Chain A
Amino acid sequence: EAQVTQNPRYLITVTGKKLTVTCSQNMNHEYMSWYRQDPGLGLRQIYYSMNVEVTDKGDVPEGYKVSRKEKRNFPLILESPSPNQTSLYFCASRRTRGPYEQYFGPGTRLTVT
């Protein structure tokens, strides 16, 4: 089954404790990205990757890091989480040459206290 998976689905952590949210896709998509979803603000892109070893900032990259060492994986790293990073996070993937349907992961609900 074609899908995007994320882990963990729920995470409660404390300020400053480094964490990683994993994302994996099995569709051989070149493009992957991370979004955060907040009430009233919709979806905002954090980082994206056009292919292996190619990453770039989205709209709200501050406080986040990513890496793309393999085509299927695109982890999101919070080196020193803060309460304002409490949010619902989605990973997504798609082709770069169409069709441009974007597939989303199930989401990770992160709470930073």
Chain B
Amino acid sequence: AQRVTQPEKLLSVFKGAPVELKCNYSYSGSPELFWYVQYSRQRLQLLLRHISRESIKGFTADLNKGETSFHLKKPFAQEEDSAMYYCALIRHQGAQKLVFGQGTRLTINP
């Protein structure tokens, strides 16, 4: 079965420090992975997707099929990065379900 694991429920770093939010997945097919972000009292929104290989707000994520990981990274954290982050995988067969990890709450300390 498809599964997305975010091992850290809480992550706290200081402003200016590097950030890495971990995401591991299990999926038998070729995965399509996403990171969603939810700022305080706001709706979830797409941050980035692996097929775009883009950098959004300084964040990048590389799909590592060997390690089945899709970690989110930013070299220098900013206070406005404080939010809830969800890693997600889409299952293309059948119901095309978007499977979410349990989320990591990132806090950037001044």
Which residues does A use to contact B, with CB under 8 Å? 4, 31, 33, 40-43, 45, 48, 50, 56, 58, 90, 92, 94, 96, 99-102, 104-107
Contact B43 A40 (CB under 8 A): no
- Cα A57 to Cα B71 in complex, Å, equals 30
Contact indicator per residue, chain B 72-99, by CB within 8 Å of chain A (1) or not (0): 0000000000000010001000011110
- The answer to whether A48 and B103 have CB atoms under 8 Å apart is no
Say yes or no for B69: interface residue by CB 8 A criterion: no
Residues of A within 8 A of B45 (CB): 104
Write the nearest CB–CB distance from A100 to chain B, whole angstroms.
5
**Chain A facing B: main interface SS:** strand
**Interfacial chain B residues near A104, Cβ < 8 Å:** 43-45
Interface residues on B, range: 20 to 34
Asked whether, in the complex, the Cβ of A42 is within 8 Å of the Cβ of B95, the reply is no
A45 to B96, CA, bound (A): 12
- Asked if B46 is an interface residue, CB under 8 A from chain A, the answer is yes
Contacts of B43 in A (CB 8 A): 4, 90, 104-107
A42-B86, A42-B101, A42-B102 in contact; A48/B95 too (CB < 8 A)?
A: yes
Pair B32/A90 contact, Cβ less than 8 Å: no
Residue of A nearest to B46 (CB): A101
Residues on A with beta carbons closer than 8 Å to the beta carbon of B96: 31, 50, 96, 100
Residues on A with C-beta less than 8 A from B42 are 106
